[in-house]
Structure 1
Amino acid sequence: MAWAMGLLLLLLLPAVGASRPGTVVRLNKEVLSYVAEAGKAPLQQALQVTVPNFLDRSGEALQPTRIQILNVHMPHLHLKFIAGFGIHLLAAANFTFKIFRVPEPLRLMLPVKLLVDAPVDQGSIGTPVVSISDCFSFFDEAIVLDHNRTASKLLVPLQKHIQAVLQNKLCLRISNVVQDLNVHLGTLIGLSPVGPESQVRYSMINAPTITKDYISLDFNAVLFLLGRPIVLPEVNTSFVLPHPVGASAAMVTVGLSQDLFDSAILLLQKAGVLNMDVTGELESNDNMLNTSMLGQLIPEVAHQFPEPRPLVLKVRLGATPTVTLRTGNATLQLRPFVEVLAPASNSAFQSLFSLNVVVNLSLQLFVAEVRLRGTTSVLGNVQITVASSNVGLIDLEKVQTLVDTVFERPLLDHLNALLGMGIALPHVVSLHYISPEIFVYEGYIVVSSELLYQR
């Protein structure tokens, strides 16, 4: 049962709330039917308690009689949100018992109704915590499943014995399952890798918001580079996820604010992984990155290098890239400084010229393996201006061809490899997002998804 309620919280994706950066994870009421169905089997297993021997007083001497639960079948399990509180569970279960009487055993079925109220709150370590505030079990009359003439004499005392045991044990077993669940939810605050030297950690920042239609959880995401947190400038604003938003019938709605993207891009810049070197090859017929091809565009290059030599483009990101989220589209702007180098006679490299470049990219986002990933494509022309030159006057129209040919594709390949690794979303073991859809809004994105929990 607690597993069933806890599964509502297992889909915790990235989260923002009052602090930065963050994400809002909203579990909609559409998830309740799935959780109730998926939770039946583990709940039935949890309720297989041990029943002590029954002292049969029907004979001349007390006779200890062994009782065993053969099966717990749950034909009905219903969950609903309680506004401002948590989750209410109503379950109907049929307990089948075997009474090991001599000379013939007896089988009974005892219908039981379970009512459980479970508040959801913020834990001291920054994870969701489920507890049990009320738990009640109600019993109907036991049903004899065998034709046994002596059963009626034992039925009343036998049922009283079983009810007394179950009354104490069922809620205790449910409470134990909830404690196991909370240990499982504690894995949410662990560090998840972003890159070889970077991680992300999520933690709850306030108590959940609970309505009759959803439960909403606010998290703070902290990205670390070499153990040091990435800190954005202070802004006195918080992210509020509208309702409704995203796909109307999704089980989970995850809102990811602009801050999370700004923090991730800042991490990539500080890590230096956005920088790259593009090296030419003399033997390649389609590679223009050599002094021979460049000399056809800039005469001074041909004069300084009569023999063909490979060139190197040294791409460095000085300015922080900018992610812009507008309704229907996401863009990424890079302003790299590109230096064109050629090997000198002493094996050192000399700078031929350098360019200030502006690249606007379309950013496509998707979710795979509990990670938010992306790919890019160039929007319009790459804008270039000359920063410095050691080869005289440069015709930018001619150099534009070189940039389009030897710069764009390596840049896209490099960026897409980085963005394809993605950033881990808050998650616990065994949770999967099924058929996620991504919606881009002004200043945030939304992931709408179905869920699959597999042990």
Structure 2
Amino acid sequence: MEKKMLKTGYFILLLSCFALQLDANPGLKVRITQKGLDYGWKVGLENIKQEIQNETFQSWSDRENFGLVKFDYTVSGLRMNTVEFPDASVSLIPGTGIKLAIEHASATFHANWSIKTWLVRNHGGATVSLSGVFITVIFQVSRDNKGRLSMLFHNCRLSIHDVKVKLSGGASWVFNLFAGYLKKPIQAYLDKNLCPKIKHKIQRMDAELRTLKVLSQIDAFAQIDYSLINSPAISKTYINLDLKGTVYPAGNRTDPPFVPDPFTLPDKNNSMLYLGVSEYFFKSASLAYYNAGAFNITITKEFSTYFMPTEVTPNSTIPEVLQLVQNYTMSHPLMLTLQSTAAPMISLQTSSLTTEITGYLEMFSVLPNSSLQFIFAGNLTVNTSANMTISKQKLIISLLLKRFHFSLTSSGVDFSEISLLENFLSCVLWNGAIPAINDKLRKGFPLPNQAQTKFIQPVLEFNQGYLLISTDIHYTL
């Protein structure tokens, strides 16, 4: 039951973990709307119903008076069997946290009983029925000193309108005369113990949250810091979470030499979840991958594989390039090396994300004895646009070649016309270098989400300085 309650709490909050950085703009923003909270609470109630039969309470004993007769009783094995929540809601308390309310609930318990008087002793089973149950729980949503999400119990109120007790087994037909005297102590016991149990579960959820890591590994090159930089901002209709959203090289937590610009999520509430991914996030990713050497590539291919017709390299130009270079290389495989000379520049506009990659390119022919024959080298600037998709809660980026500029520094081939070299490079970039970079990016960037959840029909919208992701959520029990 406790594990299910922990999962329920995590899902309602849709978070995993976060670390501390005060007085800074976020690289990522997360907004959980009322629609998202309602769905999370609905799933949570189903979780509770499935596991409720495992909830047990401690035994207790006491003494009651029945007229002139005193009897001692013990109630043990009190276990909840069924529960119904006809009217349940979740709401936000601005500046504080989350309020869970259950009204007109009903429940049945099974228990064992034993009664003894000066004259007789007996024991059996009992069915306890509750009706008109009202529960209100408030817990604060905050951040611990390491930037992880924190849940603090604030308040719990419980009222039970009616309790019915029916004894069975033993001489229950006699002792049912005493059943009415058990209503009051059973109700008092439940009043005393239900809220502490709820408090304990919230404390358990908070303890689990404090054990979660704040870094998410992307691949061998980079990791993301999803830490909270300040406490969640809670309004009447949504929770806003500001995350650091910095991408670091794997094993290196040095902050980049730039900071996030402020940005604001639009006033929308049609989706359960909104994610704002800032330009800073992509810039830090660019720097992290550059520092990790991800943009340094070496490719060896058969010559002909570079010359598949594309929009960039029309059919009419290919024979000239083939003849010029192939005569020189004697049809040997080609080796391309590209050393990036700076982190790619990133720009997020209202229509797309664009990058500018600069580097030094060299081309060789690989001879049969594995030695290299130099062909040409030069400085290269490549401009690309980026296609973005979401798959398995990851943001997948794929670069598309837009244009490039190449400055030849040395050559073993007589390129009498620079256009021939440009056509050749179009083939190399389109069919070699760009696919190699995309292959390193294909693992994607993990987005903030809870285990056992998936995004439903996410929509990506480019804005000046940030990418907005709008999505609903599906949770698998």
What is the TM-score when the length of structure 2 is the normalising length? 0.81
Cα RMSD after superposing both structures: 3.5
Post-superposition CA distance 1:199-236 (Å, at most 9, x none): 2232111111100010111111343324212532244x
1:296 matched to 2:327: no
Q: How does 1:16-35 map to 2 (within 5 A)?
A: 19=24, 22-35=27-40
The structure-2 alpha-carbon separation of the partners of 1:17 and 1:417, relative to structure 1 and needing over 3 Å to count, comes to: farther
2:97 to 72, 77, 86: 86
What amino acid is aligned across from residue 74 of structure 1 in structure 2? E
Q: What SS class does the counterpart of residue 189 from structure 2 fall into?
A: helix
Query: How much does 1:427 deviate?
Result: 4.0
Match of 2:208 in 1: 184
Equivalent position of 1:98 in the other structure: 110
CA distance in 2, matches of 1:160, 1:149: 20
What is the rounded CA distance, in whole Å, between the counterparts of 1:446 and 1:366 in structure 2? 12
Do the aligned partners of residues 284 and 159 (structure 1) sit closer, same or farther apart at CA in structure 2, a change above 3 Å counting? Answer: closer
Taking only the aligned residue pairs, the percentage that are identical comes to 24
Name which of 98, 102, 116 aligns with 2:137: 116
2:436 corresponds, among 386, 406, 414, to 414
Indicate if the aligned counterparts of 2:217 and 2:224 stay in contact, CA closer than 8 A: yes
Name which of structure 1's ranges 53-62 and 133-142 shifts more when overlaid on structure 2: 53-62
* CA apart distance, 1:114: 0.8
Equivalent pair of 2:455/2:471 in contact (CA under 8 Å): yes
Counterpart mapping for 1:377-392 below 5 A: 377-379=400-402, 381-392=403-414
| Aligned partner (choices 263, 279, 296) of residue 240 of structure 1 | 263
How far does the alpha carbon of each residue in 1:90-145 deviate from its partner, in whole angstroms, 9 at most, with x for none?
Answer: 11332313354658754331132111111111112211111111111111022457
Contact 1:321 1:335 in 2 (8 A): yes
1:51-450 mapped onto 2 (5 Å cutoff): 51-53=58-60, 55=62, 57-58=65-66, 61-66=71-76, 68-75=78-85, 76-92=87-103, 93-98=105-110, 100=112, 105-111=125-131, 112-143=133-164, 153-186=177-210, 188-235=212-259, 238-245=261-268, 248-281=269-302, 296-297=323-324, 302=327, 305=328, 307-342=330-365, 348-379=371-402, 381-392=403-414, 394-450=416-472
Contact 1:14 1:22 survives alignment (8 Å): no
Residue type matched to 2:39 in 1?
Answer: Y
Measured after TM superposition, the shift of residue 51 of structure 1 is: 4.7
The alpha carbon displacement at 1:31 in A equals 1.1
**Is the 2:33–2:272 Cα contact (8 Å) retained in structure 1?**
yes
The answer as to whether partners of 1:98 and 1:106 remain within 8 angstroms in 2 is: yes
The separation in 2 between residues aligned to 1:429 and 1:54, in whole angstroms, is 43
Answer with 41-50 or 435-444: which moved more: 41-50
Whether contact under 8 Å (2:18, 2:146) holds in the other structure is no
Q: Summarize the Cα distance change of 1:186–1:396 in structure 2 as closer, same or farther, 3 Å threshold.
A: farther
Alpha-carbon distance in 1 for matches of 2:208, 2:415? 65
Question: Could you report, residue by residue, the CA deviation over 1:354-410 in whole angstroms, capped at 9, with x for unpaired residues?
Answer: 23333322212222223221122223x443332333445542211222222233122
Distance, in Å, in 1 between the alignment partners of 2:329 and 2:348 is 49
Q: How many residues align?
A: 444
> What are the Cα deviations for residues 168-220 of structure 1, in whole angstroms up to 9, with x where unaligned?
22122112211222233335534322222432232111111100010111111
| TM-score, normalisation: structure 1 | 0.85
Kept after mapping to 2: 8 A contact 1:341/1:353: yes
Specify every segment of 5 or more residues in structure 1 that has no aligned partner in the other structure, as ranges.
none
Which residue in 2 is equivalent to 1:40?
Answer: 45
- Distance apart, 1:413 and its partner CA: 1.8
Output the amino acid matched with 2:40: V
CA contact (8 A) 2:17 2:227 kept: no
Contact 1:223 1:230 (8 Å CA) reproduced: no
Task: Give the whole-Å Cα distance in 2 for the aligned partners of 1:253 and 1:13.
Answer: 17
Distance 2:221 2:182 in 1: 64
Deviation at 1:259, TM superposition (A): 0.7
Flag structure 2 segments of 5+ consecutive residues without an equivalent.
114-121, 310-318
